[in-house]
Structure 1
């Protein structure tokens, strides 16, 4: 484990230091419009002691404007299902019941995924967030990139063949996130399709799939 922050603010500061160490692509115009520093990571939103974490790919325009993950069109679907499950009436209340984060805590230019080299740079910070600061054990991933982020932590370092099929949406995968001192935190990863309206195959089914995953996770 590359970092061992004592507080969540130290972890965010360490991720910022990494961002400033060497340039990488960020959507500077979106940060400028939102009056936010493009070098300051938007690492997470929600509650560190929530039972469920939701991992998405990266930030979008709405997320930068709000300064928190999962608040755009897809994020609103996720939040709505969480608050529905808990009898709340405002999407903001989802933050009491889940931790929301991304594989990279920055917005890439356009709507393109970050290169693997960028994910590698920021992987230690996201891993430490999930292993060292979040106390839950149930993770829901949104889309292929977020699901595959966990592959290095699966037994043998590779998902089974079924993980490349629709069977993954019915399965849970045990992963071991590294902790300081050679220890590990065991989490259960339950993949979901990406909740974008452009994902025509799954979009209409997504709320039902998410509700089932939340029920499985106790979230």
Structure 2
């Protein structure tokens, strides 16, 4: 699935005045810093992953979730579908073509620091359109607090409060949360969020537990069967 030209141009226009983009990394790989890294996947992909923002390897390859943290996700997907360890990097790229990928902001920040709320609010209407209009699925595994609470940005107070309350639950990485995402024009869709911790090695509290939590999520959601049925 590809973004239509109009939406892609809107991302590029919004990125023109975005401060904090890691221009050095884009230069290192000869990549356009205005080009969003979204990944997308099939429009009818039954399950998606929603993260914070791309990192250095994502810029290099032009694909989301391809760096060290993303490899943890792709390893879990491969194991769930094929029942054996992922053999190599190319296999990780191939397995990623079967699901939907997106981030709160599709540009790499300097120092991999989280984008400001102002930056997330700037891109929220565009990312909401990607989620609602460009993807038919509604089951999303969110990675980390930033990605989960993004669904409250520019939304009614009760939606934000429900998300924040759910995140405080001890079983948040096992339970799911249904939330309504509404665009500026009133177009809306309900998403079922299945949060997991961010798979970064820097997240020492959860990094070692992430593979097991992901495996349990994928099994509970029936992801392997969904992807096999999707072809």
| Maintained 8 Å contact 2:66/2:93 | no
Q: CA deviation at 1:95?
A: 2.2
Question: Which range moved further: 102-111 or 41-50?
Answer: 41-50
Q: What whole-Å deviation, never above 9, does each CA across 1:96-146 have from its counterpart, x for those lacking one?
A: 321111100000111211100000001111111111111111001111111
SS at match of 1:168: coil
Normalised by the size of structure 1, how large is the TM-score? 0.89
| Aligned position for 1:156 | 158
1:69 aligns with 2:70: no
CA change 1:7–1:147 in 2 (3 A) is closer
Which residue number corresponds to residue 102 of structure 1? 103
Equivalences for residues 25-104 of structure 1 within 5 A = 25-87=20-82, 89=86, 90-104=91-105
* Bigger strand fraction: 1
Q: Which runs of 5+ in 1 are unaligned?
A: 1-5
C-alpha contact 2:38 2:102 (8 A) present in aligned 1: yes
CA distance in 2, matches of 1:215, 1:151: 27
Q: Is the 8 A contact 1:154 1:176 kept in 2?
A: no
Q: Distance in 2 between matches of 1:48 and 1:154?
A: 28
Cα offset, 1:181, TM superposition: 5.6
SS of aligned partner of 2:54: coil
Instruction: Report if aligned partners of 1:43, 1:126 keep a CA contact under 8 Å in 2.
Output: no
Q: Which residue does 1:198 correspond to in 2? A: 202
Runs of 4+ deviating beyond 3 Å: 6-9, 152-155
After the TM superposition, which of the residue ranges 134-143 and 153-162 deviates more from structure 2? Answer: 153-162
SS at match of 2:142: strand
CA distance in 1, matches of 2:50, 2:218: 14
Distance 2:113 2:158 in 1: 29
Structure 1 pair 98/118, CA: closer, same or farther in 2 (3 Å)?
same
SS of the residue 1:74 aligns to: helix
Q: Which moved more, 1:196-205 or 1:126-135?
A: 196-205
Q: Secondary structure at the match of 1:15?
A: helix
Q: Give the structure 1 partner of residue 227 of structure 2.
A: none
RMSD: 2.1
Q: Paired residues, what number?
A: 213
